[in-house]
Amino acid sequence: MDGILPVYKPVGMTSADVVAKCRWLLHMRRIGHSGTLDPSVDGVLPLALGAATKAVPALMTLGKTYTGEITLGFATETEDLDGAEIERIRLETPFSTEAIDQAMAKLTGEIIQIPPMYSAVKVNGRRLYQYARAGETVERPQRHAHIYAFARTEAPVFAAADGVQTIRFTAQVSKGTYIRTLAVDVGRQLGGPAVMSQLTRIASGGFTLDQTLDLRPLTQETAPAAAAAHLRPIEYAYPDLPQVALTEAQYQAVLNGKWLTLNETAPRLALFAEGVLKAVYRAENGIYRPDVMFLANAGAVKEE
């Protein structure tokens, strides 16, 4: 079973938990995912099955879309509600809608983020969350992210009794973007603490929530048919690549990892044999060479 399976990750499960459950349900070991979701976040989690695991880097470039909530008035060590509170400033009056919109607009486009201490980013061979749990501090690397869209979805809500204000939002972002940090940066733009108080990923890897498979009600008896109905071919990870049908001679050359001379001009091509994606080749000095191989004997070929 090779392909891409868009599944629903519920709150309370890690992405690794979802992969483990899918392996158990389908009796498969070769399964990966294309972008971690924190346990408190639900939504779309595309899984790569079998040979499709080599397409994970391509899936991750397709961007992600979220809906969620930002709460203004306090901050936590993890930038979401999972961590201990580290700051609180009671809001006596709400921020204006105009000020909130301006703050979100400033965080749209190409931005630089500092990843949260409670994240999996590696510094000197250790994860940032390992430093955080040990009470250690370390200089965090800057990361570039592109925010394609970031806006309110409804009027902000001010809770005078609690001294906080909430903002419902939608965000369409590039890979590597921390929505938690985006929420904190909204507060920073407004001059106060903030936290991401809820998040759902509604699209990832070209899939939307209504296309996902919920693994929770499935058994080992029902899962194979349900997965087959939701499984998509590997080429879903390469929606913009021109597709080339190989001749038998060309296919034999691809099987041996050979370069090809093709009457094409695109920088990368998706190569098919008998309607099945076999490889992605890239142009180099007028000749196409292997980039990503989806063949059983292609383990030594460089992957993307």
Over residues 263-299, the pLDDT tens digits come to 999 999 999 999 999 999 999 998 999 999 997 544 3
**In the predicted model, what is the mean pLDDT of residues 125-142?**
83
Listed in sequence order, the DSSP H helices in the chain are: 15-26, 56-60, 97-106, 128-133, 179-190, 223-230, 248-255
- Say yes or no to pLDDT of 301 above 60: no
The reported pLDDT for the residue numbered 296 is 57
pLDDT one-digit tens code per residue, 41-93 = 999 999 999 999 999 999 989 989 999 999 999 999 999 999 999 999 999 99
Has this prediction a pTM greater than 0.75? yes
6-40 pLDDT per residue, tens:
999 999 999 999 999 999 999 999 999 988 888 99
Question: What digits encode the pLDDT tens for the residues 235-255?
Answer: 999 999 999 999 999 999 999
38 is catalytic: yes
- pLDDT higher than threshold 50 for residue 231: yes
Four-residue CA torsion sign, 23, 280, 64, 195: positive
Residue by residue, what is the 3-state secondary structure of 34-101?
A: CCCCCCCCEEEEEEEEHHHHHHHHHHHCCCEEEEEEEEECEEECCCECCCCEEEECCCCCCCCHHHHH
Place of tokens 């890897």: 205
Q: What is the pLDDT of residue 290?
A: 96
Whole-number Å distance between alpha carbons of 151 and 105: 8
Token digits for 27? Answer: 């009796």
Confidence of residue 199 (pLDDT cuts 50, 70, 90): very high
CA angle 83–86–89, rounded 5-degree value: 125
The whole-number pLDDT of residue 123 equals 82
Closest to 58 in 3D by CA, of 222, 292, 298, 259: 292
Q: What is the pLDDT of residues 147-197, one digit of tens each?
A: 999 999 999 999 999 999 999 999 999 988 999 999 999 999 999 999 999
Report the pLDDT value the prediction gives residue 148, as an integer from 0 to 100. Answer: 97
Exactly one of 2, 17, 38, 240 is catalytic; name it: 38
Above 80 in pLDDT, residue 5? yes
264 CB-near residues (< 8 Å, 6+ apart): 242, 244, 283, 288
Q: Is 162 helix (H, G, I), strand (E, B) or coil?
A: coil
